[in-house]
């Protein structure tokens, strides 16, 4: 533990210089970190793991609460954290607990933020909906895209990749702190949004209307389907406009990666409605 008796908080840009204080991490913390690779333990504890200086600083800046910050003494924090929550260990010890192939010099365990979404909050804005996205890399990329394009809410089926999966957390690059991800019955969410809120529900299909020839509103729900199966029939029945990204090549690829498709669709919505 860092020797900071005179300081209650580690201040801005504090550099962990006390490398001689590095020690082995306890078995209890090792077991906790290892368990957080599994969703059932993330749900049980309300905790998740993040690694790397930029990601951890983004989460702290966004106001997420750390349970513990584990460092090798080679990085800095840009937000105040109680010294009692910071533990310094050796690089070899950190490598043993890291989920990354190339470990970063800092790892944090954070509390999941509370979900504040209420049905109807999305009525006058653009919302992304994910129907069974499985790949953690795709999931993290889409969360980053949502953040980039100012989309505040991403609604998912319950079998969509968990936002707090370590691979998703890393791929989201801190965007998960700024984008609210809601897991629900997506088909019912789309039905209620269309009927009760009179919202347009857009779905991406191979046989949809050319997105570049479609009038796109500033608000609505964009549904992106599973990597292999697309949008489920029970969700598709509530979609009011089927759209497609046309291919400009003769032959070749049959479809786009869902992360790339989401980027193109979000960009076109924002381009069409920007002043």
Would you list the domain boundaries of the chain? 9-111, 126-273
Pairing of strands 241-244, 201-210: parallel
Helices (H) and strands (E) in the chain, counts: 9, 14
pTM for the full model? 0.86
Per DSSP, the three-state class of 132 is coil
Same fold, 9-111 and 126-273: no
Sign, CA dihedral 56-57-63-66, equals positive
Residue 20: per-residue pLDDT = 43
Segment (H or E) for 263: helix 258-273
Cα–Cα distance for residue pair 106/103, rounded to 1 Å: 8
Q: Is the pLDDT of residue 3 over 60?
A: no
Residues 231 and 204 sit within 8 Å (Cβ to Cβ): yes
How confident is the model over 200-244, as pLDDT tens digits? Answer: 999 999 899 999 999 999 999 999 999 999 999 999 999 999 999
How confident is the model over 57-66, as pLDDT tens digits? Answer: 999 999 999 9
Cα–Cα distance for residue pair 265/222, rounded to 1 Å: 8
Residue 248: per-residue pLDDT = 86
Residue 24: per-residue pLDDT = 62
Q: Domain 126-273 - what CATH class?
A: alpha beta
Would you state the structure tokens that stand for residue 171, as one six-digit string? 């791929």
Model confidence at 8, pLDDT cuts 50, 70, 90, reads: very low
Contacts of 260 (CB under 8 A, 6+ apart): none
Domain 9-111 has CATH 3.30.1330.30: yes
Residues 156 and 183 sit within 8 Å (Cβ to Cβ): yes
Q: Is the pLDDT of residue 252 over 70?
A: no
Residues 130 and 189 sit within 8 Å (Cβ to Cβ): no
Q: What is the mean pLDDT of residues 79-87?
A: 90
**Among residues 217, 207, 160, 220, which one has the least CA distance to residue 186?**
160
Query: For the ranges 49-53, 80-84, 118-122, 155-159, which has the lowest average pLDDT?
Result: 80-84
């Amino acid at each position: 533990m860092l020797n900071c008796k005179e300081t209650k908080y580690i201040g801005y840009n504090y550099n962990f210089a006390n490398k001689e204080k590095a020690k082995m991490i306890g078995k209890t913390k090792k077991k906790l970190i290892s368990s957080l690779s599994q969703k059932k333990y993330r749900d049980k504890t309300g905790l998740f793991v993040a690694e790397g200086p930029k990601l951890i600083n983004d989460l702290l800046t966004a106001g997420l609460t750390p349970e513990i910050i584990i460092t090798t003494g080679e990085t800095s924090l840009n937000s105040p954290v109680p010294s009692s929550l910071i533990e310094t260990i050796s690089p070899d010890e950190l490598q043993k607990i890291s989920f990354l192939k190339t470990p970063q010099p800092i790892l944090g365990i954070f509390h999941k933020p509370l979900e504040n979404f209420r049905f109807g909050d999305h009525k006058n804005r653009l919302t992304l909906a994910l129907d069974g996205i499985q790949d953690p890399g795709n999931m993290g990329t889409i969360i980053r895209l949502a953040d980039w394009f100012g989309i505040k809410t991403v609604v998912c089926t319950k079998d969509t990749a968990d936002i707090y999966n370590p691979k998703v957390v890393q791929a989201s690059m801190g965007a998960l702190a700024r984008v609210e991800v809601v897991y629900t019955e997506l088909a019912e969410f789309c039905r209620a949004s269309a009927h009760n809120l009179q919202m347009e529900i857009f779905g991406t299909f191979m046989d949809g209307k050319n997105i570049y020839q479609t009038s796109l509103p500033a608000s609505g729900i964009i549904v992106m389907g599973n990597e292999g199966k697309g949008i489920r029939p029970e969700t598709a029945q509530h979609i009011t406009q089927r759209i497609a990204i046309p291919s400009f090549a003769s032959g070749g690829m049959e479809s786009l990666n869902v992360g790339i498709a989401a980027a193109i669709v979000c960009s076109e919505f924002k381009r069409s409605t920007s002043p």
